[in-house]
A and B are shown apart, each in its own frame.
Chain A
Amino acid sequence: MVTLKELDSFVKEYGKDGLSLLILFCHLKSKYESDLRQRFGLDEEELNRTCMEVAKKLLKYAKGQPTKKK
């Protein structure tokens, strides 16, 4: 499990884009993991890379209005 310190430094370095990439990645991985393993025989590393690549591509569609940090 990730520590708060790691997540905090990641968010401070990569901002909202980094955070949305991680959230989408976690969602894709948990929801489609069994499908991807059964259909395509992906191992853990391939699964992570595939989900991350797709999350990055999908983020292009999720761009909204910029927000100001309080």
Chain B
Amino acid sequence: MVYIRIQRRPRRPSIRLGKKMLNPGGSLSNFSATHSSNYLKKRRSLRSRPESSVVKREAINFLLQAPTSGEIRIAYIIADNLYTNWDHITQLFEECQRRNNLNISGKIGMETAQASLSTIQTELAWTVIGGHVPKELQKPAKEMLANFMNTLTSAEIALAKQFLQGRE
């Protein structure tokens, strides 16, 4: 089977007989020069990328409509339970980190130890908060928690601080 890709081209503006063309003083070459330059301007404007602020606004509108209310609720439930049990969870993390540093990092390297640690941290946090999450939301909630634990970076925390301090 052969696939043919059809590219849409911007529509060429229709030619209208204006005063310039009908003006006895004007020449046909003048008209065609004016017309072609207008045509090129229009093509350039169609090709050019919209302003970054417009793109950002469109992206924000897209994102505002994308997540479901369930996802927002899950994020809130996780944050609520993590915060409520934060002291207990950090104690568990510290204990786990201490044991991991002693047992694993010497044998398999620090990078692997860090990766396994984040998975263990997710499991530890889940053992504490999992019971407080409604049963029907447990699977997506655990995925969201794992994603939070595994992907968060220092730069993102700094950005969050800026937003929370109202500097953004």
Contacts and interface: CB of A to CB of B under 8 A. Distances in A.
A40 B157 contact: no
Contacts of A13: 161
Given A4-B97, A17-B164, A22-B160, A70 B85 contact: yes
A33 to B, nearest CB: 10
Q: Is the interface of A mostly helix, strand, loop or mixed?
A: helix
Contacts of B153: 1-2
Interface stretch (B3-11, B21-29, B69-77): B69-77
Contacts of B59: 36, 39-40, 42, 46, 50
A36 B168 contact: no
Question: What interface size band does chain A fall in?
Answer: 35 or more
Interface in B139-168: 144-145, 147-148, 150-157, 159-161, 163-164, 168
With most chain B CB atoms within 10 A of its CB, the pick from A24, A36, A61, A70 is A24
Contacts of A39: 59, 62
A28 B97 CA distance: 28
A26 B160 CA distance: 11
B133 interface: no
A25 B90 contact: no
A24 B67 CA distance: 10
B86 A50 contact: no
Given A4-B90, A26-B151, A67-B83, A36 B63 contact: yes
A8 B159 CA distance: 16
Given A14-B164, A26-B148, A8 B66 contact: no
Nearest to B78: A23
5 contacts: A14-B160, A14-B161, A21-B163, A27-B75, A52-B159
